[in-house]
Amino acid sequence: MKKTRDLENYKFYIHTFGCQMNENDSERIAGILTKEGAKISALLEESNLIILNTCAVREKSEEKLYSFLGRLASLKKTKNITIGVAGCVAQLYGSELSEQKPFVDFVIGPDNYQKLPQIISDNIGEKILSTSWSPEWQETPSELIFRESQVSAYVTIMEGCNNFCSYCIVPFTRGREKCRPIQNIIHEVKDLADTGYLEIQLLGQNVNSYRDPQTGKDFSALLRELNRVDGIEWIRFITSHPKNFSPEIGFAIKESEKVCRQLHLPVQSGSSSVLKRMNRGYTREDYLEKIELLRDLMPDINLSTDIIVGFPGETDEEYKETFILLEKVRFTNIFSFRYSVRPKTAASKKQDTVPLEEKRRRLIEVQSLQKKIQLEHNQSLIGSIMKVLCLGESKKAPRIFSGRNEGYQVVNFKSKKDFIGKFVDVCITSCGPYSLIGEIVL
């Protein structure tokens, strides 16, 4: 008879690489394991089950993973621990990762987390690989999610992507698009409201293409439905693809008072020719038209974006178009990166023609411009009073609290009273390029 292990004997530690989707997956993993009796730990050193939840979107995330695995290999020589690699890198490399890292006990892809208890129980002296795909939505009951915050909750509405942008590995690590039934989403959000959550963040690789598999209702309809849930005050979503961002979504944001006037709309490049090579499905002009529509509808909307510099073949002229677009749109925030080759993607077959030093120069120039834009924008907010959701207290200074405003900007303020989990009004008194500083208005 095959031996198994009791999960009640496990104290587990999860280290998460990557984005909000990965963070939400880690919450799901933690909930699944705690339901079976395992205990979560904040300290790696006191744990006997260590799970690395991985991201493969950028080369740097993989490098961080392998560095961490080297540390665990040394730890395993001195301590009886079980090591698992989950998520996108696990899905991408599968058996190759298992063979190259013999100290890793199991490798599990994003569609297989429900199998974790059995995998860990069965892991007696044998390596386990679980990277199969399911064509159906894998529902995780809300009560099984071990949420980090008691104020703001992630709610996954879809997974995967059908776009196959030429630089992007997501279709190979998350699979094709799968949409969650709208009634399941509404049920989870109502449960969160009943539990006291004030904010939800809807997650998906491309939320704009959401469509309820049963009724066909689209993303704008979902926003309007969730706007009617009592108790929830703020609704956010990430990530949007410009190709699928319709005017109807813009109208739904404007007409739904709980949907924050804040949008992350990744442009990636300001050059139409680069966008074509990226297979993004829109031009520079298309993107700017959507920005104009949003600002006509909501002049105070906060916009953020993603930028990639040094894509294969990007000329000085094409790069300058990105620089000019940033000056024109004046985003509240950007996430900017040097292009890095990702396996299996169409761009990986192209010659990486932009030298590393030139990529670095362009990235520094983009980030310097954005820093200037953000500082000027933040300075314009001094003297204004804004609603802030308090999320925590500073670990560096006593009685300094931190939260976010509707535009998703960080706001720090001093208070003698604990306002964590509550909305407060804050008068902005000073700022830096990356955060606002204010005083609470009572």
Q: Residue type at 436?
A: L
- Exposed / middle / buried, residue 331 (Cβ in 10 Å: 0-12, 13-18, 19+): buried
- Residues with Cβ < 8 Å from 331, sequence gap 6 or more? 303, 304, 305, 370, 373
Ordered structural domains, the chain, with CATH:
7-130 (3.40.50.12160), 142-379 (3.80.30.20), 385-441 (2.40.50.140)
Beta-carbon count within 10 A of 114 CB: 14
pLDDT per position in the chain (442 positions), as tens? Answer: 344 468 899 999 999 998 899 999 999 999 999 999 999 999 999 999 999 999 999 888 899 999 999 999 999 999 999 999 999 999 999 989 989 999 999 999 999 999 999 998 876 667 899 999 888 888 988 888 999 899 999 999 999 999 999 999 999 999 999 999 999 999 999 999 999 999 999 999 999 999 999 999 999 999 999 999 999 999 999 999 999 999 999 999 999 999 999 999 999 999 999 999 999 999 999 999 999 999 999 999 999 999 999 999 999 999 999 999 999 999 999 999 999 999 999 999 998 889 999 999 999 999 999 999 999 999 999 999 999 999 999 877 888 999 999 999 999 999 989 999 999 999 999 999 999 999 999 8
Residue with tokens 């609603």, as numbered in its chain: 387
* The predicted structure's pLDDT at residue 124: 61
* The predicted structure's pLDDT at residue 312: 97
* The predicted structure's pLDDT at residue 1: 33
Residue 139: phi, psi to the nearest 5?
-80, 130
Instruction: Note whether 426 and 385 are within 8 A (CB).
Output: yes
User: Any bridge partners for residue 154, and if so which?
Assistant: 201
* The predicted structure's pLDDT at residue 3: 41
Distance CA 136, CA 159 (A): 11
* The predicted structure's pLDDT at residue 254: 98
The CA-based dihedral angle spanning residues 153, 159, 160, 161, taken in that order and rounded to the nearest 10 degrees: -80
* The predicted structure's pLDDT at residue 235: 98
